[in-house]
Structure 1
Amino acid sequence: MTTIDRAWLGVVSADHTRRAVAGGFIQLNHGKRPGVARLRRGDGFVIYSPTDLYGDKTPLRAFTALGIVADTEPYQAAPMDMGSHGTVQPWRRHITFAEVVPVALTEVKDALHLTTQANWGYQLRRGLVPLTPQDFTTLQRFMDRP
């Protein structure tokens, strides 16, 4: 297990998460810089996917990826079509993703500090929220590929 000092939770649909894991990067809030600029090399990073497909309303509610920030600064990727958001040149960070299995929120909810407050899910609307190092370790344990 990896020990970290800081951790973050990004909210990304599972289909976009699969692309991010395959490419070894994270992109948040439609490619805007502020979120990814908060990350530091060595920070833990977990992705929570409320849905499987971006724009779909069918709930997934699972933690789908976990890794460590691998670079020191955000970088801009090639321009891409973001549908209704137009063509953007997104800001990204390199992430070294671990091989993990997705874990449903219901399986781990009672073990996380994140979910202890009433209306805890409201903060997920920001797309990036701080996560305690203990929650990162808990999720790492639950998601560790056997």
Structure 2
Amino acid sequence: MTAPTRHRNWIAVASAEHARRGRDDPAGGFMQVGHGKLAPLKRIRAGDHVAYYAPTTTLGHADRLQSFVSIGVVHGDNPYEADMGNGFVPWRRDVRYASAAREAPILPLIEQFDFVDDPKHWGGKFRFGLFEVNDHDFGLIAAAMQAELQGLGP
């Protein structure tokens, strides 16, 4: 008998405007990373947890937000393309977001995260757009967002 596959935890990076669009989509929640690239989404599986970190409110603006804005569980077997118009056809994954989660600033958590090697230079990993974190770090994010992920499973 094989052991059940354990979920992985991810932090995705996008402006709050873009992350909220995926969270609040009337057709169901979704995620995109790296301006719609496929490769990062291939690493993610149904049942994985994802939290979106937003450095800014709007893409290309210097309005520092530095907050986690959505958190949920990935659904569906594979990434898929979605036509957003004007020739933009990004890759997506379906996500069930925790509807009662609150947006939470990152700064109070920096010194508690295992993935942060140097609290004075904590932003380095976020440049990748998507990276994996351990259960401890994801738990800190979920607690700060007052998010309940039970019941959102695949």
* TM value normalised by structure 1: 0.86
Query: Which has the larger helix fraction?
Result: 1
Q: Which amino acid aligns with 1:77?
A: A
Aligned to 2:108: 107
- CA deviations 1:119-146 (Å, max 9, x no partner) are 3411211111111122111211110169
Letter in structure 1 aligned against 2:117: T
Residue identity matched to 2:15: S
Aligned 8 A contact 1:9 1:129 in 2: yes
Runs of 4+ with deviation above 6 angstroms = none
Task: Give matches, 1:14-93, under 5 Å.
Answer: 14-23=16-25, 24-81=29-86, 87-93=87-93
CA contact (8 A) 1:14 1:53 kept: yes
Structure 2 SS opposite 1:136:
helix
Deviation at 1:107, TM superposition (A): 2.2
CA distance in 1, matches of 2:104, 2:64: 14
1:128 counterpart residue number: 130
33-42 vs 119-128, which moves further: 119-128
Pair 1:29–1:80, CA change in 2 (3 A): farther
Equivalenced residue count is: 138
Distance 1:52 1:135 in 2: 23
Q: Is the alpha carbon distance of 1:79 and 1:65 closer, same or farther for their aligned partners in structure 2, counting shifts above 3 Å? A: closer
What TM-score results when the alignment is normalised by the length of structure 2? Answer: 0.82
Corresponding letter in the other structure for 2:67: A
- Name 2:117's counterpart in structure 1: 116
- CA distance in structure 2 between the aligned counterparts of 1:120 and 1:129, rounded to whole angstroms: 14
Q: Distance in 1 between matches of 2:117 and 2:98?
A: 26
Gaps of 5+ in 1: 82-86
- What's the C-alpha RMSD, in Å, of the aligned pairs? 1.8
Deviation at residue 116 of structure 1 after TM alignment: 3.5
Say whether the 8 Å CA contact 2:110–2:122 is kept in structure 1.
no
Contact 1:31 1:92 (C-alpha < 8 Å) held by counterparts? yes
Identity of aligned residues (%): 30
Give the distance between the partners of 2:39 and 2:127, measured in 1 at CA. 15
